[in-house]
Amino acid sequence: MVVTVFRARLRKDLDPDLIPELEKRGARMFELASQMPGFISYKDFQAEDGETLSIVEFDSLDHVRAWHEQPEHRQVQQWSRERVYASYDIKTCEVVRTLRFPTATG
């Protein structure tokens, strides 16, 4: 499994009128990603200080690359860099171990 961790901060001068468009595009990206081969899951969170965190899981690095290169996703990436985000940090990691509680047999 491959996990992408996407941390971001919105621009301080973000036009409030862009928020509905951002939400619409975010919903569309979830719709597209969840239809991509190898998609496992997506979750997002917001910290009290305004930072957002998204965790996306795919079954392979090839499928993560395919998602990254998906044309509509590429357009939204560009739009977000130009109009929405002050900064972001993306880490893509291969899972080396998974622990669960309670256990499947417990």
Q: Note the Cα 24 to chain centre separation in Å.
A: 14
Alpha carbon 27 to chain centroid, angstroms:
11
pLDDT computed for residue 33 by the predictor: 96
Check which CATH number belongs to the domain holding 39 and give it: 3.30.70.100
Selection from 21, 31, 16 nearest residue 72 by Cα? 31
- E strand or H helix that includes residue 64: helix 61-69
Amino acid, res. 14: L
- Residue 58 CB neighbours (<10 A): 24
Residue 102's pLDDT is what? Answer: 86
In a domain, 105, yes or no: no
| pLDDT for position 96 | 95
Task: Report the number of distinct structural domains present in the chain.
Answer: 1
Q: In order along the chain (106 residues), what is the average pLDDT of each group of 10 residues? A: 96 93 94 97 95 97 96 96 95 94 72
Q: What is the pLDDT of residue 32?
A: 96
Structural domain of 14: 2-94
- Assess if residue 103 is contained within a domain: no
Q: Identify the pLDDT of residue 100.
A: 87
How high is the pLDDT of residue 104?
Answer: 66
